[in-house]
Amino acid sequence: MPIRNILAEMRAGNYKPIYFLQGEEPFYIDRISDYIAEHALTEDEKSFNQTVLYGLDTDVATIVSEAKRFPMMAQRQVVIIKEAQRVKNLVPSGEDAKSELLSYLENPQPSTVLVFCHKYKKIDTRKKIGKAIKAAAEKHGVFFTSDKIKDWNLSGWITEHVQSLGYHIDPRTANILSEYLGNDLGKIDNELSKLFIDLEPGGHITPELIERNIGISKDYNVFELQNAILHRDVNKANRIIIHFAHNQKEHPIQMLVSTLHGFFYRIMLLQYLQKRNRANEAASVLRVPPFILKDYQMGARNFSDKKLRSIFRYLRETDNKSKGIDNVSTDAGDLMKELMFKVLH
């Protein structure tokens, strides 16, 4: 069931007996479990009817025992298992293993809302017991898998998330955030909350607002550096790289090298597709938003095969020198400036 449907049901006051929440991305797991913890019971009901257990400190027998209790002076009780992935034998190994948890999931207490926060990993649903647990959870409640958002989908996720909260952001501004914040959705959501403070409902997030509230410069960022490289704008690229050299904590050389490697790899890959008359596949193969594709098309025109091979050599040399290989005294800032000179000349 999609996250929006799960939340919509709960907002309507409809809670399931089981929520098995698993996956590598904790953001949605926290969002669902936090909503249940805050809204499934009134404040007066929580003291007797809301139980939070932690994986390392509990076991399956205790979980089932708590889930089978009846609520006290309330319509329901809530049992939340934090760090459920640490519960010993939550999902027993072996094809013929017996599971006390499965027995409960197949016949849950209707007045209990049992929530498993199984973060950073998934149960193996290819095996018999894992498949049975999933089937039972889906039959009587919700079995939700929260996967990491891929880097190339991140700016789109930011755009949709901002819109879902009643605000607006353009794709390029979303891309600035994705470049700097990575794919930790909790971190992104936290940083966005800082921006909403200065906005009226329906307002637009701009690069200036990001710079003022988060500290990501609208002029001095990797996205603008890539744009300068594509246009062979030496002056702009040098201004940005000098800013990076003077602010190495915010712009570490390892991140710069990694980002530029991915940037030039996509240019090289686009050239390969164009030579084989597969340019129509470029957006999906490069895994970039369509609005950025034209930037890479410019890069494919401006950088020859020979130059790209040289750039990859420069990147490898810079990475080695930043780690002290064949380098005694040159600091990271000077390595950045040297790298940019070689890329643009």
Length of the chain: 345
Which domains are seen in the chain, by residue range? Answer: 3-145 (3.40.50.300), 151-213 (1.10.8.60), 222-344 (1.20.272.10)
Give, as one character, the DSSP assignment of residue 252. -
Longest dimension (CA), the chain: 76
Q: Per the structure block, which two tokens stand in for 128?
A: 């018999």
- pLDDT class for 312, splitting at 50, 70, 90? very high
- pLDDT class for 45, splitting at 50, 70, 90? very high
When pLDDT is averaged across residues 106-124 and rounded to a whole number, the result is 95
- pLDDT class for 283, splitting at 50, 70, 90? confident
* Residue entry with tokens 């909350």: 193
- pLDDT class for 183, splitting at 50, 70, 90? confident
The string of pLDDT tens digits covering residues 220-239 is: 888 889 989 988 899 999 99
Of the candidates 172, 219, 167, the one whose C-alpha atom is nearest the C-alpha of residue 196 is 167
- Would you state the pLDDT for residue 95? 56
Query: Given 3-state DSSP classes, what are the helix, strand and coil percentages for the chain, each rounded to the nearest 5?
Result: 60, 10, 30
Of the candidates 183, 192, 198, the one whose C-alpha atom is nearest the C-alpha of residue 164 is 192
Model confidence, pTM:
0.74
- Would you state the pLDDT for residue 98? 64
| Dihedral in degrees, nearest 10, Cα atoms 244, 247, 253, 259 | -50
Structural element, H or E, at residue 19: strand 18-23
- Would you state the pLDDT for residue 158? 93
- Would you state the pLDDT for residue 97? 52
Query: Cβ contacts of residue 337 below 8 Å, gap of 6+?
Result: 238, 241, 242, 245
- Would you state the pLDDT for residue 94? 62
180-187: long-range contacts (C-beta < 8 A, 24 or more apart)? Answer: 180/216, 180/221, 180/222, 183/148, 183/149, 183/150, 183/151, 183/154, 185/25, 185/27, 185/28, 185/149, 185/157, 186/26, 186/27, 186/30
